[in-house]
A = this chain, B = another copy of it.
Amino acid sequence: MTPDLGPDLGRRDLLLAAAAATVGAPLAAQTRRAPAGGGGGRKLGYAIVGLGNYGLNVIIPCFADCEHSRLVAVVSGDPAKAARVAAEHKLGPNAVYSYADYDRIRDNPDIDIVYVCLPNSMHAEYTIRAFRAGKHVLCEKPMAVSVRECEAMIAAGRAANRRLMIGYRCHFEPFNLEARRIVRAGEVGRVRYVRSEHGFVMRDPSVWRLKRALSGGGSLMDIGIYALQAARYMTGEEPVSVSAVERTDRSDPRFREVEDQIAWDMAFPSGAIAGCHSMYSANQNRVFLAGSEGRVELEPATRYDGNRMWTGKDGREKPVAPPSGPGRNQFAGQLDHMARCALSGAEPIVSGEEGLRDMRIIEAIYRSAREGRTVKLA
């Protein structure tokens, strides 16, 4: 399937078009084979692409907690910062790349996996280029800025026979995993309702997240996607329809290009409803599930740390103890999961298809809010 391309076909569009064209290619070459860099007990090497706060201060320190993953390279537009990070982490020669010479990672056998920590609109391009260089890819959420880009990324991974994983860290967060276990075990009865609010006060009007060309959208793409994910992984179902309301003060300098708050309700096949909320103008971080016989609640639910959880019939009667020992670092968990998948050839539990599913729903949420109607999902 070749996408409908406009006349101004830039480098990014060409990449997407070429990748998408491979969707229909024979799958024979895409069967599992020996992972890049060989197997064995060695730690797989990661290149971190993008040394913003998340890549630099959140992800890189977590390699210390990893069993199967190590930092071997950085890709940055800031040579001084990249050199400093390389020195701090005692990276070898050829460990620093600029965006211009990014494609040279192909020649570095120490790099098994590329972790794309760039602004959203760059995810597709840097993922596809990584696949072309023969690397596996862990890409931050949101997977990209459109369904079309997600499809191209998946196609590129298949063509290269490399794994694609999306950085949905909550699938490795112990409280969220325990909440899902409780629900799946039937401990709260029949699932009736999920509620998730995610938001924070965005104070700096200059950040890339508020520029549509870089972010692809506002709070929904950034923080609201956690609420969407939670509704899906807590119920274990896919929504059949979505109904959304957006409210944004366009005179606020922060919100000239992207939405502030958006609320949406999703209907699920079982009869459950999820009510979700996303915003850039108040702090919220909660996941709540009501079953016919009880409830489970997380607040904060999806933070980097400090999450808390309760079960109950009528309130937060029973606190759930925080996890301890291995597995409590959600970031290390996701880095090592990707490494294990790269080694074994297995599909990551949060694959490109998972990111694509969210992006289809996100597009439906925006459409519902724009058109003032319920949008059905296939």
Contacts and interface: CB of A to CB of B under 8 A. Distances in A.
Interface in A227-251: 241, 243-245, 247-249
B299 A193 contact: no
A266 B292 CA distance: 26
A329 interface: no
Interface stretch (A28-36, A137-145, A155-163, A277-285): A277-285
A372 interface: yes
Nearest to A375: B372
Contacts of A268: 247
A281 B192 contact: yes
A86 B272 CA distance: 46
A281 B292 contact: yes
A275 B273 contact: no
A194 to B, nearest CB: 10
B243 A244 contact: yes
A112 interface: no
B261 A247 contact: no
A197 interface: yes
A377 interface: no
A264 B285 CA distance: 20
Given A245-B243, A372-B243, A282 B290 contact: yes
A195 B192 contact: no
Indicate how many identical chains form the complex. 2
A273 B263 contact: yes
A98 interface: no
Contacts of A146: none
A134 to B, nearest CB: 44
Contact of A284 (B247, B264, B285, B290): B290
Given A243-B372, A275-B277, A283 B193 contact: no
A313 B300 CA distance: 12
Contacts of A249: 271
A125 interface: no
Contacts of A245: 241, 243, 265-267, 273, 374
Interface in A297-332: 299-300, 308, 313-315
Contacts of A373: 372-374
A68 B272 CA distance: 47
A278 to B, nearest CB: 10
A254 B245 CA distance: 31
Contacts of A248: 271
Contact of A193 (B266, B284, B313): B284
Given A245-B267, A315-B300, A282 B277 contact: no
Given A267-B245, A284-B290, A374-B373, A314 B300 contact: yes
A25 to B, nearest CB: 39
Nearest to A250: B271
Interface in A185-205: 189-190, 192-193, 195, 197, 199, 201
Interface of A: 189-190, 192-193, 195, 197, 199, 201, 241, 243-245, 247-249, 260-261, 263-268, 271-273, 275, 277, 279, 281-285, 290-292, 295, 299-300, 308, 313-315, 372-374
